[in-house]
């Protein structure tokens, strides 16, 4: 019997919820006269799911009938779950109807592999053609490139979509071979390379011919699953850095592995998704993209894991106390960026304001500097660095200022999102949650103070 579109939507929206590779549009195309939609900010409409992920409101798969059998995926061939496939017309109509009702601003279109990569991509292209050419939909579209699809089809996809993404899925070739035997590393990296080259060529064309067709103007992104395989944070960050450099990615998204199947190659079904680790990786990724850090400055072979208790920037500062204090009135911009408590915006404000005169603590506070942290790492007009006592008392004070209080949260929501593993263990053993949080925090302060 024919499935109703609504039934398909329920199944396919549910199947798409594990994909996190979408975020704000990054596209700035003007509204089209007589067309529908606009890519101007706020662009694609987003929401946050209960577990903190940022998702587009219309985020569905074209189909969840997959020919592949990736062990970590709920849609894999061997899993027993309701299956559905949209026709291109159904999905295009659904998008337009939702858009007209103001439910969504754009579309995140992905699909399981229906038959073959090329067949699936052709069906996705049919949806995009209907939207762009028949409905003249000018809103944001993020399309997933299917690994193994032919270069000609990927090229066409980039002509319709604002952003493309190819999921790298797992941090190493060995893990990919083990868990996703149908996908080869080259079937993922080849389209990434093609998209990077086509986007670069397109940027050049647009400088020469103003009306040249645009190719994926919001660039490409990828997603990596964290915690399903044994790769360290260091390996993941090295790979992330390489992807940004080699393929000019806009974003690498990290997805904490959520166990969906009993499989001896994967963590046990009752394993909690490593959400705090995912959060720390995003913070480290931020350092790579905006703070001029290299992956091997954040971690190395000797200490390959990000601390659950310190954000990566504070972790780096603690290991490099010899580089501090810095004089905010003289230090180069790059050094300002390395001070805990000084972000990109405040570093830019400092750089501009100090041309007019020397800055003191009051000015820094007004510029958004978090003095609670920064005071131990800076000197400025009228301030020669925080003293905070001597010896171990001073070290404890610094440790308290740097340690991330979010990692010890006692509330239920914080437990699932941010609590460090030790808090979870104590809580599981019967210690009240708040007490567990306080105990672990004190232990972390002691350890960090000793290391300072
Ligand atoms: S190709 Fe792999 S990851 Fe993608 S939907 Fe199919 S089983 Fe899931």
Residues 32-41: pLDDT tens digits? Answer: 667 765 554 3
Question: Could you identify the atom of ligand 1 that is nearest to the CA of residue 67?
Answer: 6
Give the tens place of pLDDT for each residue, 90-127: 999 999 998 898 888 888 999 999 999 999 999 999 99
User: Is the CB of 112 within 6 Å of ligand 1?
Assistant: yes
Query: Could you tell me the pLDDT band of residue 199, with boundaries at 50, 70 and 90?
Result: very high
Count Cβ atoms within 10 A of the Cβ of residue 274 and give its class: 0-12 exposed, 13-18 middle, 19 or more buried.
Answer: buried
CB atoms within 10 A of CB 152: 10
Q: Band of the pLDDT at 443, cuts 50, 70, 90?
A: confident
Q: Tell me the CA–centroid distance for residue 300 and ligand 1, in Å.
A: 32
The per-residue pLDDT for 24 is: 44
Ligand 1: does its nearest atom lie under 6 Å from the Cβ of 113? yes
Strand partners, 222: 252
Domain ranges of the chain: 5-268, 387-452
pLDDT in tens, 219-276: 999 999 999 999 999 999 999 999 999 999 999 999 999 888 888 899 988 888 888 8
Query: What pLDDT was estimated at residue 36?
Result: 65
Q: What is residue 402's predicted lDDT score, i.e. its pLDDT?
A: 83
Q: Does residue 73 line the site of ligand 1, with CB under 6 A?
A: yes
Topology of domain 5-268, CATH:
TIM Barrel (3.20.20)
Tell which one of 73, 80, 176, 181 to mutate to probe ligand 1, the residue whose CB is within 8 A of the most ligand atoms: 73
Ligand 1 lined by 168 (C-beta under 6 Å): no
Beta bridge partners of 388: none
Residue 183 CA, ligand 1 centroid: distance in Å: 9
Of residues 212 and 149, which shows the higher confidence score?
Answer: 149
The pLDDT value recorded for residue 43 is 31
Q: What is the pLDDT of residue 25?
A: 43
More confident: 391 or 288: 288
Residue whose CA lies nearest to ligand 1 atom number 5: 112
Average pLDDT of the residues of the chain: 85
Rounded Cα–Cα distance for residues 368 and 432 (Å): 36
| Residue 147 CA, ligand 1 centroid: distance in Å | 10
pLDDT of residue 393: 72
User: Which atom of ligand 1 sits closest to the CA of residue 180?
Assistant: 2
Lowest-confidence range among 187-191, 298-302, 392-396? 392-396
Q: Ligand 1 pocket, 70 CB below 6 A?
A: yes
What pLDDT is recorded for position 395?
Answer: 74
């Amino acid at each position: 019997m024919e499935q109703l579109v609504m039934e398909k939507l329920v199944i396919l929206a549910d199947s798409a919820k594990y994909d996190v590779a979408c975020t704000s549009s990054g596209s700035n195309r003007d509204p089209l006269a007589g067309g529908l939609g606009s890519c101007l900010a706020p662009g694609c409409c987003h929401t946050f799911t209960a577990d903190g992920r940022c998702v587009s409101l219309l985020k569905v798969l074209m189909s969840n009938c997959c020919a592949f059998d990736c062990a970590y995926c709920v849609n894999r061939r061997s899993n027993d779950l309701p299956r559905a496939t949209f026709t291109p017309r159904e999905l295009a109509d659904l998008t337009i109807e939702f858009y007209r009702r103001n439910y969504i601003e754009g579309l995140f279109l992905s699909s399981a592999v229906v038959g073959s990569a090329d067949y699936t991509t052709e069906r996705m292209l049919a949806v995009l053609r209907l939207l762009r050419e028949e409905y003249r939909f000018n809103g944001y579209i993020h399309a997933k490139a299917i690994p193994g699809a032919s270069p000609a089809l990927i090229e066409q996809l980039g002509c319709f979509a604002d952003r493309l993404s190819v999921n790298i899925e797992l941090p190493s070739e060995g893990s990919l071979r083990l868990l996703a035997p149908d996908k080869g590393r080259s079937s993922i990296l080849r389209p990434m390379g093609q998209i990077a080259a086509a986007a670069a060529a397109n940027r050049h064309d647009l400088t020469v011919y103003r009306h040249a067709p645009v190719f994926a103007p919001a660039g490409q992104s990828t997603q990596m699953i964290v915690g399903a395989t044994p790769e360290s944070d260091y390996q993941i960050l090295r790979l992330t850095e390489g992807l940004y450099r080699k393929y000019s990615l806009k974003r690498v998204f990290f997805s904490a592995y959520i166990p969906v199947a009993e499989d001896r190659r994967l963590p046990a079904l009752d394993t909690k998704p490593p959400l705090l680790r995912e959060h720390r990786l995003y913070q480290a990724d931020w350092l790579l993209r905006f703070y001029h850090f290299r992956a091997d400055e954040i971690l190395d072979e000797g200490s390959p894991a990000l601390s659950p208790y310190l954000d990566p920037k504070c972790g780096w500062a603690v290991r490099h106390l010899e580089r501090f204090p810095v004089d905010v009135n003289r230090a180069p911009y790059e050094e300002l960026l390395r001070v805990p408590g000084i972000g990109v915006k405040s570093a830019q404000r400092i750089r501009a304001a100090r041309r007019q005169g020397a800055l003191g603590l009051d000015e820094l506070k007004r510029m958004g500097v978090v003095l609670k942290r920064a005071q131990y790492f800076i000197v400025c007009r009228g301030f020669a660095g925080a003293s905070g006592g001597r010896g171990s008392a001073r070290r404890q004070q610094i440790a308290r200022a740097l340690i991330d209080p979010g990692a010890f949260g006692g509330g239920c929501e914080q437990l699932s999102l941010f609590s460090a593993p030790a808090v979870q263990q104590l809580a599981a053993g019967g210690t009240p949650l708040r007490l567990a949080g306080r105990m672990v925090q004190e232990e972390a302060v002691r350890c960090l103070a000793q290391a300072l």
